[in-house]
Amino acid sequence: MSGGTTETVPPPAATTADSPLAPLATAREKHRHNAGEPLPSQSAQRGPAVDCTADSAGGLTFDLRLPVAEAQGGDVGLLLRRRPALSGETEEIRLPLTPVQEAEPGTLRAALPSTVRMAEGRWNVFLALPGRPPRRLAPGVNDLRSLVDRVPQETRSWLGVRIPYATKHGNLSVRAWMRWPHAEAGTLQVGDGALELAGRLYGTEVTDTARLEAWPRRGEVEPVVADALAGTDPREFTAVLPYPPLAANRLWDLWLRPEKGAEAVRIARILDDIPDKKRIFTYPAHALEPHTGPQPADEQPTARAKPYYTLNNDLAVRVDRVD
């Protein structure tokens, strides 16, 4: 790998694959703060602000300014540390900070090439100076225009997505995904009775045996399956997921199986500049059963379903009972 080094910190624990081909692990959709990382109580404990620029291939450039004496010191670097998983596993990537010749003295730059693999997750960004503990960095100006409507290169063997963002504590972090194939969710049409979904598949093609699969996140319920139809472009697909069969479980994760016997691909929305879509993209809830024919005016549905994006920007459907 160029531009950085990756170190896996043991011990890695065995985890259940996030795929419907294996038993589904219990997912926690709640952000967990790294208990080993102290929260800054004042801005003086944080390093300088960092400007981030993204390129269309998936690389990031970090620019920051330091006092000239610090900037000229040896072995100055940018440290990216992935927040630990439930297993305790984490890893680090260290990038060298080098002077920017055309900028003011003390201006340093680090580059994270698209060819450097980053495991999926949230990566905290630190300033690493010789003889000092790493310091969290603050977000500056993010230029993410190249990420809007990004089209991955089909010649790649994996897709890396990295989006810098400000945490709720005012620190700089990077949200990373690494997938291939990838099913990008597009337009969603919601209504009583069904969810209509359009999307685009990268890394393979949609066949006449393709199907949309809704897998229960918990429990022993069987998946709900619907046909997925290819468009004029075999990488595009549409599907209609009926709501009534979803009444058997509360949370459903959506997958696309490109053809019979192929591995299922998680449907997500990651090819833009929005790191957390759960609160940004919201959809109305609709009745599980379509209302047809005359009904009493006071009759209400017993459950409602709504699509949503998880904290990982994966597409899911939630079913809520109506009291």
The pTM for the full model equals: 0.80
Q: Is 248 helix (H, G, I), strand (E, B) or coil?
A: helix
Question: Which residues, at least 6 apart from 210, have a Cβ–Cβ distance to it below 8 Å?
Answer: 227, 228, 229, 230, 237, 256, 257, 258, 259
Asked if the model's pLDDT at residue 179 lies above 60, the reply is yes
When the pLDDT of each residue in the chain is averaged and rounded to a whole number, the result is 84
Look at residue 89 in the predicted model and tell me its pLDDT: 83
pLDDT digits (tens, 9 = 90+) for 242-252: 999 999 999 99
Q: Is 25 helix (H, G, I), strand (E, B) or coil?
A: coil
Residues 35, 39: Cα–Cα separation, whole Å: 9
Look at residue 50 in the predicted model and tell me its pLDDT: 97
pLDDT digits (tens, 9 = 90+) for 248-276: 999 999 999 999 999 999 999 999 999 99
Q: Is 80 in contact with 111 (CB distance < 8 Å)?
A: no
Q: Is 115 in contact with 3 (CB distance < 8 Å)?
A: yes
Residue 45 — very low, low, confident or very high, per pLDDT cuts 50/70/90?
Answer: low
Q: Would you call 162 exposed, middle or buried from its count of C-beta atoms within 10 A (0-12, 13-18, 19+)?
A: buried
